[in-house]
Amino acid sequence: MPGKHYVYPHMISLEIEAFILARESQERSKNTIIYYRQELGIFSTLCSNHGIDSMEKITPTIIRHCVVDLRLKRSKGGLHAFGRAIKAFLNWFEIENEIENWNNPIKKVGKIGEQNKNPIPGIDPEKILQLISVCGKKRHGIRNRSILYFFYDTGLRVSELCNLNIQDVDLQSGIVQVFNGKGGVDGVSFISTKCKRELLSYFRHRGKMEGHDPLFLSNYQKRLSRRGVDTMLDTLCKKAGIDKESSHDFRRAFTKTTLKQNDMVTTARLLRDKSTSMVWRYAHQNIEDLREAHEKSSPANSLKK
């Protein structure tokens, strides 16, 4: 039996749950909570693989081991996201518990990964057409077509699309109400006439619907999940014979296409972003894009004889 002065260790798994609860009480968005739970779950597993189960045993060396273990599976950007979650967790633990003689190990680790600030290309419109062409004409194929159109027409994040209900889409005005988006922010998006037609075609094959029903259903008639979207895209890419594309590649493609007709501020508002920094990252312009832009605005061509 432990003596009366014995101090029980702080178990990593229990402290992660306490941290998640603290963030939920601060009304962090659903997606933020999912992010913390996923990244810290990975951290807990990696620590366990090294025989570490309590907070007191976590050292800078252990954290570095975890990063090395994850490096084979993650990009620098992915490692950066992992590092942000660990830092938030350990900083919270330090403030929450104020353990005597406990030094926060994250302070000696330094930078984990690197946030990618370079322009990121999206999926080419030609590839979108290839994916559409292999959807097929059965019920799930019609659903998949409408999802592809919806992604490209709105630039929605996958979580935002999966959270939509029937009543969130006004087929007359084309306005899409987006609730609890990134950062818990509400906003609006828009769909075109062509996207409306695809959505109506899908609705006709669904049968009776209520306003609170999910906009898109899985193959099992449940709300479509992020994993379901990923599986759908993987399957379509294989059928079309193209490299794997993610749902976020459609958001990048939306940005690039929209920028050809609008300024960065308007494009950022259509993306429901607070700044234009992400617009710049998504605006991957190749030589042909720049040539066309120069042709339209050539200073020399504007000179009058």
Residues 267-286 have pLDDT tens digits of 888 888 877 777 776 666 55
Distances in Å between the alpha carbon of 76 and those of 79, 86, 152, 171, 173? Answer: 5, 15, 27, 41, 42
216-246: pLDDT as tens digits:
999 889 999 989 999 999 999 999 999 989 8
* Mean pLDDT, rounded, for 136-160: 94
CB 192 within 8 A of CB 151: no
149-201: pLDDT as tens digits:
999 999 999 999 999 999 999 999 999 999 877 767 788 999 999 999 999 99
CB 247 within 8 A of CB 230: yes
Residue ranges and CATH numbers for the domains of the chain are 12-108 (1.10.150.130), 125-285 (1.10.443.10)
Q: How many helices (H) and strands (E) does the chain have?
A: 13, 2
Helix (H, G, I), strand (E, B) or coil at 218: coil
Q: Among 40-44, 135-139, 260-264, whose mean pLDDT is lowest?
A: 260-264
Task: Report the distance separating Cα 119 and Cα 34, nearest Å.
Answer: 26
